[in-house]
Structure 1
Amino acid sequence: MARGDLSNDEWTALAPLLPAQPARGGQWRDHRQVINGICWVKRTGSPWRDMPERYGPFKTAHLRFTRWAADGTWAMLKRQVIALAELDDGIEWDAQADATIVRAHQHAAGGRKKGLTVAETQAREGIGRSPGGLTTKIHTLADGRGRSLATLITPGQAADTRQLVALLDLVRVPRPGGIGQPRTRPDSVTADKAYSSRANRQALRGKHIRATIPEPNDQIANRKRRGARGGSPPAFDPIAYRRRNQVERGFHWRGVATRYDKLGPNYQATPDLVEMLDWLRAVPDGHDPRDRT
């Protein structure tokens, strides 16, 4: 087992969740070997052709990665692994929101589809052009230990504040045993000043989620200028806010820190893969999903 490959315990937890072999036609190459190859490419940021031979043909790994990105398999696996962590009370539901700018490699350009405008292409592929070059922004909502519950990619110029509700809508953690509706709401959300807006605070109140978001100076001044009509200052817990840096500690793989994927679904699947592996570490050793009670 090479550095970065799935451990035996991680594989034991993940294997039952993977798609079954097709009933007809050719058989898939071993899932574990191929996934380890995909992880090597994404962890190192290397071209697919440079993938070591021990992981099999690079075309097989690339095709499986792109197929599972297009049909949502990576996102599904991430949700299922998060559900396994919840079996052992592994989720801290005091969530934290943040966003980070990612430079896009020149090879990530050119994903425009015929018939779409530049703006429509940017929204579809999650890549934008600014004076600094091509950029993508990763928006994430993490649990209290910094592990992502939901991730969304947008063009780099997209405002952080407009993505908070969209992130909350992506949270769906199946209940233990698959009984009942998935959990969709954290207990609280902590975020920096970029997320401070009346719309966000109203949305959080409507979902009965506590907000720990500081007011920027211009909003404070505007509220005071309006006097009694400006209302009271929003509640703010400075002690809870100190823990917000947990969300800033992820996404160190080179394939995430720099975008090499041309298509939006492929790049979205990259943090989904990284986050799935991060959550696997929270699953009890050797846990089999079929043991759910």
Structure 2
Amino acid sequence: MAQHRGDLSDAQWQKLQPLLPQPAPTGRPANDHRQVLNGILWIHRTGAPWSDLPERYGSRGTVSSRFYRWRAQGVWQQILNQLQHTADAAHQIDWEVHFVDSTIVRAHQHAAGAKRGIKTQNNRVTTEQLQEQEALGRSKGGFSTKIQIQAEGLGKPMQFVILPGQSHDVKGFDKLNEAAPRIKRKGRGRPKQRPRYLVGDKGYDADSIRRSLRRQHTTPVIPKRKNAKRRPRFNRGLYRERNRIERLINRLKQARRVATRYEKRAENYLAMLTIAAILIWLK
């Protein structure tokens, strides 16, 4: 099959192929993984609906169902974790300093209206609860979703979470911190998980965050707000490197399915974001 713009290169496929689920030994043969993945990447890059998928990638039902099935099975997250593990084994992850930041993406009008699920007389899901559950925030400009992300020192994504657009950075930090991957290293010892320094902007200036970081032996590099009574010194040299995570966010948003949220379900949008992170680790 001829390679088109946005398709996996041979080098990327060589890294990715061993990480994919093996086809079942019995039953109807599954469609080629590479062809289906290229179809998913076409949707991911263009932001088009599944119904517009070009015929060269196969049936839109096959491509979309594999995306949703692998999301439900946790395959996308497993691939990302394995790529990070491989990079760490090759000493390609900087554990000295990590960066944290957030960005807000607009949600398309079709992203609203997720089903509330099963309701009982004593357990009803309100509109506000549903929006919180699906990471949709309402504002004058419409619906939005906030992405909080942590990057390692070389500017590659480590973990991320999504929240309603109006959520404060402090609110989502604990959730982001808990999502840190546990990267098992060769030999004895605990899995590597925490950096020596964590750099964030003034949005993360909170005593609770500083205490949490110190408990895990991480030094916060976070400036105080102007109205703070005490403004201790911080490592300005490391803080100037924060542009690395800002550039990372721009790279993630090159995919239109990330730059604008079209998915009704938060878990599906998170899968699209995970695919964008996988592509960065494959480079």
* TM value normalised by structure 2: 0.90
Taking CA–CA contacts closer than 8 Å with sequence separation of 6 or more, which of the two structures ends up with the larger relative contact order? 1
Residue 236 of structure 1 is matched in structure 2 by 234
Residue 280 of structure 2 is matched in structure 1 by 278
**In structure 2, which of residues 144, 153, 169 is the aligned counterpart of residue 160 of structure 1?**
169
Runs of 5+ unmatched residues, structure 1: 224-232, 282-293
SS in structure 2 of the partner of residue 273 of structure 1:
helix
Taking only the aligned residue pairs, the percentage that are identical comes to 41
Residue 44 of structure 1 is matched in structure 2 by 46
Number of matched residues? 270
Which AA in structure 2 matches 1:97?
V
Whether contact under 8 Å (2:150, 2:160) holds in the other structure is yes
Whether contact under 8 Å (1:70, 1:266) holds in the other structure is no
Residue 259 of structure 1 is matched in structure 2 by 261
Aligned equivalents of 1:147, 1:88: Cα separation in 2: 15
SS in structure 2 of the partner of residue 157 of structure 1:
coil
CA deviations 1:50-69 (Å, max 9, x no partner) are 11211111111111111112
Whether contact under 8 Å (2:108, 2:262) holds in the other structure is yes
Residue 151 of structure 1 is matched in structure 2 by 160
Residue 204 of structure 2 is matched in structure 1 by 195
Aligned equivalents of 2:133, 2:23: Cα separation in 1: 31
1:1-80 to 2 correspondences below 5 Å: 1-80=3-82
Aligned equivalents of 2:186, 2:7: Cα separation in 1: 29
4+ long deviations beyond 6 Å: none
Residue 109 of structure 1 is matched in structure 2 by 112
Cα 1:55–1:169, aligned 2, differ >3 Å: closer, same or farther? same
Aligned equivalents of 2:171, 2:282: Cα separation in 1: 30
Cα 1:104–1:179, aligned 2, differ >3 Å: closer, same or farther? farther
Whether contact under 8 Å (2:185, 2:192) holds in the other structure is no
> Could you tell which deviates more after superposition, 57-66 or 168-177?
168-177
Whether contact under 8 Å (1:169, 1:184) holds in the other structure is no
Cα 1:56–1:204, aligned 2, differ >3 Å: closer, same or farther? same
Residue 225 of structure 2 is matched in structure 1 by 216
Aligned equivalents of 2:90, 2:173: Cα separation in 1: 28
**In structure 2, which of residues 235, 245, 248 is the aligned counterpart of residue 247 of structure 1?**
245
Aligned equivalents of 2:80, 2:132: Cα separation in 1: 23
> Could you tell which deviates more after superposition, 135-144 or 124-133?
124-133
Which AA in structure 2 matches 1:240?
L
* TM value normalised by structure 1: 0.88
Aligned equivalents of 2:208, 2:109: Cα separation in 1: 36
**Shift of residue 143 of structure 1?**
1.0
Aligned equivalents of 2:196, 2:226: Cα separation in 1: 27
Aligned equivalents of 1:178, 1:46: Cα separation in 2: 46
Whether contact under 8 Å (2:185, 2:191) holds in the other structure is no
